[in-house]
Amino acid sequence: MTHNNMGWNFDNSYVRLPERFFENAEPTKVSSPKTVLFNKQLAEDLGLHANELQTAEGTAILAGNTLPEGAQPIAQAYAGHQFGNFTMLGDGRAVMLGEQITPDGERKDIQLKGSGRTPFSRGGDGRATLGPMLREYIISEAMHALRIPTNRSLAVVTTGDSVRREVELPGAVLTRVADSHLRIGTFEYAARWGSEEELRELADYAINRHYPDIEDNPDRYLTFFREVVKRQAELIAEWQLVGFIHGVMNTDNMTVSGETIDYGPCAFMDVYDPATVFSSIDVQGRYAYQNQPGIGQWNLARFAEALLPLLHERQEHAIDQAKEILGEYKDFYDDYWLAGMRKKLGLHNREEQDSVLIQDLLDIMEESDADFTNTFRALTLSEPEKTPMHGEEAFTDWFQRWQERLSRQEKSRDEVFQLMKRSNPNVIPRNHRVEEALEAAVQNGDFSVTERLIEVLSAPYAYTKDQEPYIKLPEPTNRPYQTYCGT
């Protein structure tokens, strides 16, 4: 254990749950750790002393070579539906050090990812390679800057050890920070292998941690389910509004807090195509962009099944109640998505025909192979001529209807512009830019490209000059862009 001159302030509530939900697991030591990315602002928000954490002693903690004071390292148990098939899982290459209580009184999980084998590793080595850890850092921090609920990244440390995949690759450990790592799959695990009492304890724990307002509600488990349904609907709507494709929406990657978690084969869409899939393992397109809202509902149905014993003592009654709430998901999602799309088009009020106006634009974008982000950027900046749709009759007609729609609301041009600017990012983590950053780091040990990218992505709504090189699209290619899980 280290001396606590670093600001650690652990209060580990998860380990007070029944032992079924975790296994003790110490991180495996690495040979020569070196911090290559460090999130100073996040460290300070957590109440940690950034300068101390960047010393050799701090690096040893971020690598898993020493434990901070108050840590109780564990691997969490959970199950999950992976591509539709149910399986037992658990943290196979992640160790949770504990829960940091921030100066604001918030509780945050501190987890090391890629820190070696745990009792849940099955055949794996529990290690992670540098590329996927940098990708998670870049994209999770970009998502945070886009104001989308997400786990955060505190640091990436290279280990000095190589990891064997198809080839030898440099090893790395990511320090991940989250409101919690409670997943739909945690509840599936409790329902399948735990007692009803243990399931109840888990649900009470999740309510206390994430939905304390409903603790005294006599129907609290039903209300809990409804709150999670709402948060997932809102989260997935926010993904769709920026063209984010998660890539592996398995139930073990969906949190009950409503945070985005697990940045494996995720990516942002360039050309607007609802059928876009990036993940190399998603051969059927189960997790394509257009399928994300529906998969959200499918995952929530698995959550409902796990909660049934708590909803009502008569199962058929519990099923009816759960179905009714699950049926509200689509309305929640549509409301969040439509509200977000109105903002993207500068609409401050509602009109009945807005959804038609929005869908017509998306159809024209798809037809013209228009870039998703840059189309809304061009509309924000009143530069429709910068889209491939410019000059096409359908777009000219649409643009006219949109201008008429804007004129029917009592808002100035500037108010419209400000709303659009706040709602349409100028920059996103373009896939070719992310790849360029990872390549420089992994091949040449050059982290400056990654640091510059993170800096540009930290203010996506700023519309500054220095962001302009990052707006450009990749060179045309016949090969579709693919991402890999990195496990």
Return d(Cα 186, Cα 296) in angstroms, integer.
Answer: 16
Return d(Cα 484, Cα 44) in angstroms, integer.
Answer: 33
For residue 1, what pLDDT is reported? 54
Beta-bridge partner residues of 173: 157
Beta-bridge partner residues of 113: 94, 174
For residue 418, what pLDDT is reported? 98
Beta-bridge partner residues of 81: 86
Q: Write out the two tokens for 380.
A: 């924000």
For residue 479, what pLDDT is reported? 62
Cβ(186)–Cβ(78) below 8 Å: yes
- Please tell me what DSSP assigns to residue 165: S
Amino acid making up residue 76: Q
φ/ψ of 53, rounded to 5, equals -70, -15
Nearest alpha carbon to residue 293 among 340, 337, 341: 337
For residue 475, what pLDDT is reported? 82
Cβ(419)–Cβ(433) below 8 Å: no
For residue 474, what pLDDT is reported? 86
**Residue whose tokens read 């634009």:** 361
Cβ-count burial of 284 within 10 angstroms (0-12 exposed, 13-18 middle, 19+ buried)? exposed
For residue 224, what pLDDT is reported? 98
Domain ranges of the chain: 14-178, 184-337
Q: How far is CA 289 from CA 218, 250, 282, in A?
A: 38, 14, 12
Among candidate residues 91, 109, 179, 252, the one labeled active-site is 252
Return d(Cα 319, Cα 111) in angstroms, integer.
Answer: 36
> DSSP for 23-65?
EE-PPPP-SS-EEEEE-HHHHHHTT--HHHHTSHHHHHHHHTS
Q: b/e for 125-162, b at 16 or more Cβ within 10 A?
A: bbbbbbbbbbbbbbbbbbbbbbebbbbbbbbbbbbebe
Nearest alpha carbon to residue 29 among 73, 60, 71: 60
Cβ(247)–Cβ(264) below 8 Å: yes
Return d(Cα 142, Cα 136) in angstroms, integer.
Answer: 10
Neighbours of 279 (CB within 10 A): 22
For residue 57, what pLDDT is reported? 97
Nearest alpha carbon to residue 74 among 56, 54, 53, 91: 91
Beta-bridge partner residues of 244: 268
> DSSP for 461-474?
TS--GGGGGGTSPP
Residue pLDDT tens, the chain, 487 long: 545 689 999 999 999 999 999 999 999 999 999 999 999 999 999 999 999 999 999 999 999 999 999 999 999 999 999 999 999 999 999 999 999 999 999 999 999 999 999 999 988 899 999 999 999 999 999 999 999 999 999 999 999 999 998 899 999 999 999 999 999 999 999 999 999 999 999 999 999 999 999 999 999 999 999 999 999 999 999 999 999 999 999 999 999 999 999 998 899 999 999 999 987 788 889 999 999 999 999 999 999 999 999 999 999 999 999 999 999 999 999 999 999 999 999 999 999 999 999 999 999 999 999 999 999 999 999 999 999 999 999 999 999 999 999 999 999 999 999 999 999 999 999 999 999 999 999 999 999 999 999 999 999 999 999 999 999 998 876 666 666 655 4
Q: Write out the two tokens for 312.
A: 């009502």
For residue 483, what pLDDT is reported? 65
pTM for the full predicted model: 0.96
For residue 487, what pLDDT is reported? 41
End-to-end CA distance of the chain: 30
Q: How far is CA 411 from CA 382, 405, 414, 415, in A?
A: 16, 11, 8, 6
Does the active-site annotation cover 270? no
DSSP alpha helix (H) spans, 243-328: 292-311, 315-326
